[in-house]
């Protein structure tokens, strides 16, 4: 039947071109049009090929029809990757390829003879119109044996328009597309690590909850949950363990709460909980206090990640609508302020927002701007706290402690302004100022003293992270013509563990300059003996909290003696900070601690006072003789 074949072939190619044009104009989706056009082109090409190679009278063919015809035909239909159904004039399936069978969850033979309309989900768009004619293209939903229905895009090809028989329906599943759209929607709203609402989503839902509460005249509470010292986990165990710990924390919070409460992750280790439908004030407060305490206890249970035992606590701040804020921003800010207070109280506790907490925040801002001016107005001062040799009471050096004497506020403690300076770049200027001050004081002492001892200067992590820090330090010593070995740099234990590799490199270079390095507040972090060995550290300073408790608390005493022994085995000096009583001094001496600092030996001194003290010592006087008899 060469005529019919020619017509079909021509139609196929024209249809393919037509489809391409439709795709270009956007009438049919390009992803669907392309494979359909490909099928049609192949079909047309094949049929033309068949015509060209039609059996001759002698029976010769270019390609034996019995091999090529069903093979290629089937191949095209199978390989196209789309579901293809051919229908008879009653709209029943004549043939289904593997992809169609898979799409419909039935085998190809089982599909044969089924009416296409019966396979369409109720209410979904039809593929054949009321008269049984194919609709050129569209979307519908097909029933799928044994599972959920599948959304599909379809396109019908009828070789002879106006006749419903021999229609091919090409189907492409949209399930994946829907899934990825859903996934994208999910990712935009939920935190991928902890699977709780992200900040945007949380704020959005909080806003809706506030609107509901306002309409219904009800109250709601926002709990701001922040993990205490979470950075230490990352520093000590690495970010993978840190991430896993956050997942566990999030799961604990979610599991503890009612289904109706919303949990969100606002930032790194900060979570928020929204509790709606609270009763009247006093009851609500008691209830929230109980909830917060129980949640904190739940969080504080130890857990294991990669065979590491981890123990974390959190701080919670509570703010309520409408009393503590009537909009999203105020509620979050005030719950955060309450959390910050709970954290300052030592962590593992909760607190309710109070109006003066924001006054605190405003005060912080004021202080920060005044700090900028303090440098120009020469309001800083360095005091020296003597470091005493506990074997004989001799002064072996000092620690430089920065003071800010504010014209109106009086003395502002460094614990209050150093963190503010660290928030910006001011800490660089302040740090440099302190080192210059120490160098020039030291040179002054050297004119009268044979050996003023070694002076320790406190460093911030941020300073150590400055790219040209070593060069700057070197230049300062050169400028003053002071030997770097007169100075010791103190870095805190957490600084040491922050990005160990980088720190190690930096410390090695400082050590090569001749500087002595010590670890401040030792015992409060997580550093291990093996980690310590890598760093060129000469001194461990036992944190004053352990020293001060050593008298009464046997656990603190054990920590103190362990650090002393640790220092000895690593060949390091050990300095006990904050020695206040004779009892503490006795414990330290008994366990062989070499040096101590603290109010027991006197307050921090001005440069002149320190020089005079050393002059007396040089003359043979013993300032603390009574203590070391």
Enumerate binding residues for Mg ion (CB under 5 A).
458, 490, 520-521, 577
List, edge to edge, every strand of the sheet that includes 350-352.
Answer: 262-267, 270-278, 219-227, 314-321, 350-352
Q: Cβ 615 to ligand C2E, closest distance in Å?
A: 23
CA dihedral (30, 31, 33, 37) in degrees, to 10, reads: 120
Q: Cβ 390 to ligand C2E, closest distance in Å?
A: 14
Backbone φ/ψ region at 26: left (φ over 0), alpha (ψ -120 to 50), beta: left
Stretch that binds ligand C2E, among 220-228, 287-295, 366-374, 591-599 (CB under 6 A): 591-599
* Residue 368 three-state SS: helix
For residues 266 and 398, which CB has a smaller minimum distance to Mg ion in the complex?
398
For residues 170 and 470, which CB has a smaller minimum distance to ligand C2E in the complex?
470
Q: Cβ 386 to ligand C2E, closest distance in Å?
A: 10
Q: Which does 484 bind (CB under 5 to 8 A by kind): ligand C2E, Mg ion, none?
A: none
For residues 370 and 521, which CB has a smaller minimum distance to ligand C2E in the complex?
521
Alpha-carbon distances, residue 583 vs 482, 515, 548 (angstroms): 39, 33, 10
* Alpha-helical runs (H) found in 300-349: 328-344
Q: Cβ 398 to ligand C2E, closest distance in Å?
A: 11
For residues 10 and 345, which CB has a smaller minimum distance to ligand C2E in the complex?
345
CA 2 vs. chain centroid, Å, equals 70
Q: Which does 415 bind (CB under 5 to 8 A by kind): ligand C2E, Mg ion, none?
A: ligand C2E
Q: How far apart are CA 624 and CA 629, in angstroms?
A: 9
Residue 598 touching ligand C2E (CB under 6 A): yes
* Residue 433 three-state SS: helix
Residue 45 touching ligand C2E (CB under 6 A): no
Q: What does the per-residue mask of binding to ligand C2E show for 414-453, with x meaning CB under 6 A?
A: xx--x---------------x-------------------
Q: How far apart are CA 526 and CA 23, in angstroms?
A: 63
Q: How far apart are CA 60 and CA 237, in angstroms?
A: 78
Residue 487 touching ligand C2E (CB under 6 A): no
For residues 441 and 521, which CB has a smaller minimum distance to Mg ion in the complex?
521
Write the burial class of residue 400 (CB in 10 Å: 0-12 exposed, 13-18 middle, 19+ buried): buried
From 228, 235, 336, 577, residue interacting with ligand C2E (rule: CB under 6 A): 577
For residues 353 and 522, which CB has a smaller minimum distance to ligand C2E in the complex?
522
Contact 427, 369 (CB under 8 A): no
* Residue 519 three-state SS: strand
DSSP-derived secondary structure for 558-573: HHHHHHHHHHHHTT-E
Residue 520 touching ligand C2E (CB under 6 A): yes
Residue 402 touching ligand C2E (CB under 6 A): yes
From 460, 466, 503, 594, residue interacting with ligand C2E (rule: CB under 6 A): 460
Cross-strand pairs, 171: 83, 154
Structure tokens at 207: 């806003």
Alpha-carbon distances, residue 335 vs 327, 329, 332, 352, 593 (angstroms): 12, 10, 5, 8, 45
Structure tokens at 124: 């979904």
Q: Which does 191 bind (CB under 5 to 8 A by kind): ligand C2E, Mg ion, none?
A: none
From 137, 140, 315, 597, residue interacting with ligand C2E (rule: CB under 6 A): 597
Residue 493 touching ligand C2E (CB under 6 A): no
Structure tokens at 586: 């006795």
Q: Cβ 250 to Mg ion, closest distance in Å?
A: 34
From 304, 599, 612, 616, residue interacting with ligand C2E (rule: CB under 6 A): 599
Contact 574, 389 (CB under 8 A): no
Q: Cβ 486 to ligand C2E, closest distance in Å?
A: 16
Q: What does the per-residue mask of binding to ligand C2E show for 145-164, with x meaning CB under 6 A?
A: --------------------
Cross-strand pairs, 157: 168
The phi, psi pair for 203, rounded to 5°, reads -65, -40
Cross-strand pairs, 516: 488
For residues 199 and 403, which CB has a smaller minimum distance to ligand C2E in the complex?
403
Q: How far apart are CA 444 and CA 455, in angstroms?
A: 13
Q: Which does 234 bind (CB under 5 to 8 A by kind): ligand C2E, Mg ion, none?
A: none
* Residue 62 three-state SS: coil
Q: Which does 410 bind (CB under 5 to 8 A by kind): ligand C2E, Mg ion, none?
A: none
Q: Cβ 520 to Mg ion, closest distance in Å?
A: 4
Contact 328, 207 (CB under 8 A): yes
Q: Cβ 375 to ligand C2E, closest distance in Å?
A: 13
Q: Cβ 591 to Mg ion, closest distance in Å?
A: 19
Consecutive H or E run containing 581: none
From 385, 466, 556, 561, residue interacting with ligand C2E (rule: CB under 6 A): 385
From 247, 323, 474, 580, residue interacting with ligand C2E (rule: CB under 6 A): 580
Q: How many residues bind ligand C2E (CB under 6 A)?
A: 23
Stretch that binds ligand C2E, among 134-142, 455-463, 468-476, 619-627 (CB under 6 A): 455-463
Exposure pattern of 331-363 as b/e (b: 16+ CB <10 Å)? bbbbbbbbbbbbbeeebbbbbbbeeebeeeeee
From 521, 525, 537, 538, residue interacting with ligand C2E (rule: CB under 6 A): 521
Residue 291 touching ligand C2E (CB under 6 A): no
Which residues form the interface with ligand C2E (CB under 6 A)?
385, 401-402, 413-415, 418, 434, 458-460, 490, 520-521, 544, 577-580, 597-599, 604
């Amino acid at each position: 039947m060469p005529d019919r074949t020619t017509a079909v072939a021509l139609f196929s190619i024209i249809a393919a071109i037509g489809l391409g044009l439709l795709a270009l104009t956007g009438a049919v989706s390009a992803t669907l049009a392309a494979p359909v056009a490909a099928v049609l082109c192949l079909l047309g090409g094949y049929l033309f090929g068949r015509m060209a190679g039609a059996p001759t009278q002698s029976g010769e063919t270019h390609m034996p029809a019995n091999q090529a015809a069903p093979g290629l035909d089937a191949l095209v239909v199978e390989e196209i990757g789309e579901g293809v159904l051919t229908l008879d004039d009653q709209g029943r399936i004549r043939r289904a390829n593997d992809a169609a069978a898979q799409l419909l969850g039935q085998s190809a033979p089982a599909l044969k003879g089924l009416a296409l309309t019966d396979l369409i989900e109720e209410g979904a768009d039809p593929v054949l119109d009321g008269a049984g004619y194919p609709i050129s293209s569209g979307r519908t939903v097909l029933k799928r044996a044994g599972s959920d229905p599948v959304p599909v895009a379809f396109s019908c090809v009828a070789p002879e328009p106006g006749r419903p028989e021999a229609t091919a329906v090409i189907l492409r599943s949209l399930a994946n597309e829907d899934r990825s759209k859903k996934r994208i929607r999910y990712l935009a709203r939920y935190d991928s690590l902890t699977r709780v609402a992200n900040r945007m989503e949380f704020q959005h839902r909080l806003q809706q909850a506030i609107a509901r509460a306002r309409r219904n005249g009800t109250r709601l509470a926002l709990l701001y949950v922040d993990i205490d010292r979470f950075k230490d986990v990352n520093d000590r165990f690495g970010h993978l363990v840190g991430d896993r710990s956050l997942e566990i924390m999030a799961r604990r919070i979610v599991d503890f709460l009612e289904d109706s409460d919303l949990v969100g992750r606002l930032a790194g280790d900060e979570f928020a909980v929204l509790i709606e439908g609270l009763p009247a004030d006093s009851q609500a407060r008691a209830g929230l206090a109980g909830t917060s305490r129980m949640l904190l206890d739940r969080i504080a249970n130890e857990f294991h990640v990669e065979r590491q035992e981890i123990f974390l606590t959190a701080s919670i701040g509570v703010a309520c609508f409408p009393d503590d804020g009537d909009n999203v921003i105020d509620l979050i800010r005030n719950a955060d302020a309450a959390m910050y207070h709970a954290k300052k109280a030592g962590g593992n506790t909760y607190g309710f927002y109070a109006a003066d907490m924001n006054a605190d925040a405003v005060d912080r801002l004021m202080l920060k701007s005044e700090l900028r001016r303090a440098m120009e107005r020469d309001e800083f001062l360095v005091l020296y706290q003597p470091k005493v040799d506990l074997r004989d009471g001799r002064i072996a050096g000092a620690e430089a402690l920065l003071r800010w004497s504010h014209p109106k506020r009086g003395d502002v403690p460094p614990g209050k302004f150093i963190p503010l300076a660290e928030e910006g770049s001011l800490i660089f200027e302040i740090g440099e100022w302190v080192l210059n001050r120490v160098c020039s004081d030291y040179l002054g002492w050297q004119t009268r003293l044979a050996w003023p001892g070694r002076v320790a200067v406190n460093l911030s992590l941020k300073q150590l992270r400055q790219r040209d820090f070593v060069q700057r330090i070197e230049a300062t010593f050169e400028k003053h013509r002071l030997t770097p070995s007169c100075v010791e740099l103190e870095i805190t234990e957490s600084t040491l563990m922050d990005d160990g590799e980088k720190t190690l490199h930096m410390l090695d270079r400082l050590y090569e300059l001749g500087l002595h390095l010590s670890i401040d507040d030792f015992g409060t972090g997580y550093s291990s003996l093996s980690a310590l060995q890598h760093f060129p550290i000469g001194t461990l300073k036992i944190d004053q909290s352990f020293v001060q408790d050593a008298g009464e608390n046997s656990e603190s005493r054990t920590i103190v003696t362990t650090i002393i022994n640790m220092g000895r085995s690593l060949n390091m000096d050990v300095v006990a900070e904050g020695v206040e009583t004779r009892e503490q001094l006795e414990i330290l001496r008994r366990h062989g601690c070499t040096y101590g600092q603290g109010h027991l030996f006197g307050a921090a001194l001005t440069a002149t006072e320190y020089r005079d003290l050393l002059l007396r010592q040089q003359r043979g006087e013993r300032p603390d003789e009574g203590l070391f008899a």
